[in-house]
Homo-oligomer: A and B are copies of this chain.
Amino acid sequence: MTNTDNPAVDLENLESQISQLKSSFDELKKDNPSNKLSMVVFSGDLDKILAAFVIATGAVAMGMEAVMFFTFWGTPVLRAKNKRPGKKDIMSKMFGAMLPKGTCEVKLSRMNMAGMGTAMMKSLMKKKNVASLEQMLEMAEELGVNIFVCEMSMDLMGFKREEMIDYKNMTFCGVAKFLEEAKDSRIQLFI
């Protein structure tokens, strides 16, 4: 408590301390994660993708932003059912044929039982008024859920952009872009 006999000097000192504190505060605040949810959708199973969409749309309904990064087995789920990809090499054709084409062909991770379990689950979901994967995707688009598609996976599996579904907020990108979003998110999940 020095210089109290000269208030002006102390005032200057305090003012500078306050302005310094303010700028440190603003920096910390800027660095704080946004009200956002980021998830990696790695799995290509009906149940897990359903869970991912329930969580993402739920987050948006709560006022959060949501980013879904589709990679590996999650990628083929975003293929459009009735689009033709054009010319492909043999490997890409094989992957294209073996992987599910779009949300309709996706199967349960358990109890698939040659498709019977999956069909049973789908009929149950209908009966219990749980949205189907197609409806979920539509709802996600309307709510503004951001879909990122992993370019490395697209390349590995030989998928072309023109094969993918039409979706307003769809971005093709790499893992760095996802990590940037995840770093700025309050919730991160790997599904």
Seen from chain A, the residues whose Cβ lies within 8 Å of a Cβ on chain B are: 1, 4-5, 7-8, 10-12, 14-15, 17-18, 21-22, 24-25, 28-29, 31-33, 35, 37, 39-40, 42, 44, 47-48, 51, 54-55, 58-59, 61-62, 64, 71-73, 91, 94, 98, 109-111, 120-121, 124-125, 127-128, 130, 152, 155-156, 174-176, 179-180, 182-183, 186-191
The answer to whether A42 touches B51, judged by C-beta atoms less than 8 angstroms apart, is yes
The answer to whether B51 touches A72, judged by C-beta atoms less than 8 angstroms apart, is yes
The answer to whether A37 touches B190, judged by C-beta atoms less than 8 angstroms apart, is no
- What is the CB-to-nearest-CB distance from A177 to chain B, in angstroms, rounded to a whole number? 10
The answer to whether A21 touches B24, judged by C-beta atoms less than 8 angstroms apart, is no
Separation of A24 and B109 alpha carbons in the complex (Å): 47
The answer to whether B125 touches A55, judged by C-beta atoms less than 8 angstroms apart, is no
Separation of A98 and B11 alpha carbons in the complex (Å): 74
**What does DSSP make chain A's interface, helix, strand, loop or mixed?**
helix
The answer to whether A15 touches B31, judged by C-beta atoms less than 8 angstroms apart, is no
Which residues on the B side are within 8 Å of A35 (C-beta)? Answer: 183
Option from B31, B40, B73, B130 in Cβ contact (under 8 Å) with A189: B40
Option from B21, B24, B40, B191 in Cβ contact (under 8 Å) with A18: B21
Residue of B nearest to A35 (CB): B183
The answer to whether A58 touches B176, judged by C-beta atoms less than 8 angstroms apart, is yes
Which residues on the B side are within 8 Å of A40 (C-beta)? Answer: 51, 55, 189
- What is the CB-to-nearest-CB distance from A34 to chain B, in angstroms, rounded to a whole number? 11
Residue of B nearest to A188 (CB): B187
Which residues on the B side are within 8 Å of A127 (C-beta)? Answer: 91
Which residues on the B side are within 8 Å of A24 (C-beta)? Answer: 25, 29
Which residues on the B side are within 8 Å of A4 (C-beta)? Answer: 8, 11-12
25 contacts between A and B (CB under 8 A): A4-B11, A10-B15, A11-B11, A14-B15, A17-B22, A21-B21, A21-B25, A24-B29, A40-B51, A42-B47, A42-B191, A47-B72, A58-B179, A59-B179, A62-B176, A73-B109, A98-B111, A124-B156, A179-B187, A183-B186, A187-B188, A188-B188, A188-B189, A189-B189, A190-B190
